[in-house]
Structure 1
Amino acid sequence: MTETTPNEDSEPRPAEMRAESFHAVREAHRNELAEDYVELIAELIAQFGEARPVDIAARMGVTPPTVAKVLNRLAREGLVARAKYRSVFLTPEGATLAEACLRRHEIVVRFLVRLGLDPETAEKDAEGIEHHVSERTLDLFRTFADGD
C-alpha cells in the first residue's frame, strides 16, 4: 500500500515523522565526534592550558593517528587551530561549540540525577543523550532539573 503525500494543510503522517527522526539521528551522529573532541579539547585547555594530541588520544581511548585524522577534519571545519607536533587550540567557533556541548551535557546530567539516577551513571548516559536531544526537549530537561 502506498501513502499519498499530504497536502499543505494536513499534519505529517507517522511515516514522514519517522523519516524526519531518522534524518535527525543521522545528523546528530555526524556531529557527535566533532562535539566530543571540541568538548574534550576545551576541558584539557581549562585544566592544563593546552590540549596535546597525545592527551586527547589517551582520554578518547584511540591511537594518535586517529586523533590526527580527526584534528585535520576539525581544522578544515574551522573548529581548531593547530600546528604539526604542537598543542591544539579551539577557534572562536570551536569554543562556542564546546561551550554549547558542555551546557547540554550538564543539563542532561542534572535531569538524570533529578530523576533519581546516580551521578556516575548519569555522566555516562548523558554522553550519548546530549548529542540527540532537541533544544525543545533540552528546555524541558532544564526546567525539570531546576525544579520549576
Structure 2
Amino acid sequence: MSKEEVFYTVRGYELLGKEGNHLTSSMEDYLEMAYRLSQEKGYTRVGDLANALNVQPPSVTSMVQKLAETPYLKYEKYGRIELTEEGYQLGAYLLKRHETIQDFLYLIGVEEGLLEETEKIEHNVSQSTMEQIMLLVDFFRSHPEWIEAYNVYRQKWAAYKAWSGNKRGPDK
C-alpha cells in the first residue's frame, strides 16, 4: 500500500463528495422515474410515481415536496409533477447511467437479480468511473466478437470451477 493513499469508509467518501445540491439515492430514483414517466406527456402525477416505484402516495408527496426545493422539479399540491430544464437533463443522465450499468452487468453475465444489482451500484459510482463504464459498454457493443470470446471464456471458467472446486478460475 502506497503512503499517499488515504482510505475512507463508504460514508466518508460520500461526505467528501457532498456538494450544494447533493441528492440522496432515493431522490435520484424519484427523479429518474419522473423523467421516464414525463417522456410522453411532459409531466407525471403522484399516483403514477407511486405505482412505478411501488411506494405509497404519501411517500411520493413527501419526496416530491423535498425535490421541489431543488432546481430540478416543480410541484404544486395535488397538481402535476414537472421537471425543470435542469431536471430533464439530470433525469436523462440518471436514466442513461441506469441503463449503462444494467448493460454492463448483463454483458459480464449477471442475469439473476440484474435490476437489484443495478440499483445498488448506480448510486455509488463517480461520474468519471461512469464515463469509463459507458466507454467500455460502447466498445463491447461495437465489437460483438469480443463479447462472444468473453462468453466462451466464462463458460470455460464455470466448467473449471465446477470440475475442480477452485473458486478463483482456471488461471489461478
**TM-score higher than 0.5:** yes
> 2:103 and 2:64 mapped to 1: Cα distance?
30
Equivalence map 1:10-89=2 (5 Å): 11-13=4-6, 17-19=7-9, 21-25=10-14, 31-89=24-82
State the Cα distance separating 1:48 from its structure 2 match.
Answer: 4.8
> 1:63 and 1:49 mapped to 2: Cα distance?
23
Counterpart of 1:7 in structure 2 is none
TM-score (norm 2): 0.67
Counterpart of 1:117 in structure 2 is 110
Q: 2:135 is matched by which residue type in structure 1?
A: T
TM-score (norm 1): 0.77
Aligned residues: 134
The higher relative CO (CA closer than 8 Å, separation ≥ 6) is in 1
Counterpart of 1:127 in structure 2 is 119
Match of 1:94 among 84, 87, 93: 87
5+ long unaligned stretches in structure 2: 144-172
Match of 2:128 among 126, 129, 136: 136
Identity %: 30
State the Cα distance separating 1:74 from its structure 2 match.
Answer: 0.4
State the Cα distance separating 1:77 from its structure 2 match.
Answer: 1.3
Q: 1:145 is matched by which residue type in structure 2?
A: V
Q: 1:33 is matched by which residue type in structure 2?
A: S
CA deviations over 1:95-137 (Å, ceiling 9, x no partner): 121111111111111111110122x732331122111011232
Query: How large is the Cα RMSD of the aligned pairs?
Result: 2.4
> 1:130 and 1:66 mapped to 2: Cα distance?
22
Larger relative helix fraction: 1
> 2:61 and 2:43 mapped to 1: Cα distance?
16
CA deviations over 1:44-98 (Å, ceiling 9, x no partner): 1114543110111122222211111111100011221122211201011211211
